[in-house]
A and B are shown apart, each in its own frame.
Chain A
Amino acid sequence: GQNIDQPTEMTATEGAIVQINCTYQTSGFNGLFWYQQHAGEAPTFLSYNVLDGLEEKGRFSSFLSRSKGYSYLLLKELQMKDSASYLCAVRGDDYKLSFGAGTTVTVRA
């Protein structure tokens, strides 16, 4: 089976940095995705990692360590609009995505 763990909730102040960790134990590995989901809306793609290291896209960065089964999503210069759920998803050897339960980030003024 697939096991993907991420914290349930995090709170941070506008302008600050927040790091959302994701650990996984899956049947095979063919990439890790991060999605953002605002309340009542569909998930939208943020980042993709398949090799170890850091991928940077503007204020958002994602890191992967395959040997440790670990990833994090880093959100810098937090804005109020970043308040949302962040979903970690791993693509296994069957090429299907398994999702974590999501981390709800609340940005306070």
Chain B
Amino acid sequence: IAGITQAPTSQILAAGRRMTLRCTQDMRHNAMYWYRQDLGLGLRLIHYSNTAGTTGKGEVPDGYSVSRANTDDFPLTLASAVPSQTSVYFCASSDGLAGYNEQFFGPGTRLTVL
């Protein structure tokens, strides 16, 4: 089934630990994105990648890093988790940047940092 998968579904993490959220898409989309969603704040862009091999910073990149070694995978790493990173994280992809290219979202990862 075509789409985006994320792992894990949920995670409870001790502050200071390192964590990688995984995201894989099988639609051969060029662009991929990581958002966090917090109550009352909506979706905020953390990092993005317009094509394999390139990445860029979004609105709230501090404390996060990404890599894009191939078209399908776009992992998000928290080097040293802090409680303010407690959130729901969504990965998304789109075929292009402009025009009628909507973003498709994965099911999300619910992360709690204690």
Cα–Cα distance between A101 and B38 once the two chains are bound (Å): 9
User: Contact: B41 with A96, CB < 8 Å?
Assistant: no
- Is the pair A99, B102 in contact by a Cβ cutoff of 8 Å? no
Contact, CB under 8 Å: A48 / B90: no
Nearest A residue to B3, CB-CB? A42
The minimal Cβ–Cβ distance linking A69 to chain B, given in whole angstroms, is 17
Which residues of A (18-63) have their CB < 8 Å from a CB of B?
30-31, 33, 41-45, 48, 50
Q: What total of chain B residues lie within 8 Å of the partner, measured CB to CB? A: 23
Could you say which interface size class chain A belongs to?
20 to 34
Counted as pairs of residues, one from A and one from B, with CB atoms less than 8 Å apart, the total is 47
Which single residue of chain B is at the shortest CB-CB distance from A30?
B98
Please, could you name 9 A-B residue pairs with CB atoms under 8 Å apart, sorted by A? A42-B107, A45-B103, A48-B102, A50-B99, A95-B98, A97-B33, A97-B45, A98-B45, A99-B43
Given contacts A31-B99, A48-B102, 16 further A-B contacts (CB under 8 A): A30-B98, A33-B102, A41-B108, A42-B90, A45-B103, A50-B99, A87-B42, A89-B43, A95-B98, A96-B45, A97-B43, A97-B103, A99-B35, A99-B43, A101-B40, A102-B42
Interface positions of B (Cβ within 8 A of A)? 33, 35, 40-45, 48, 58-59, 90, 97-100, 102-108
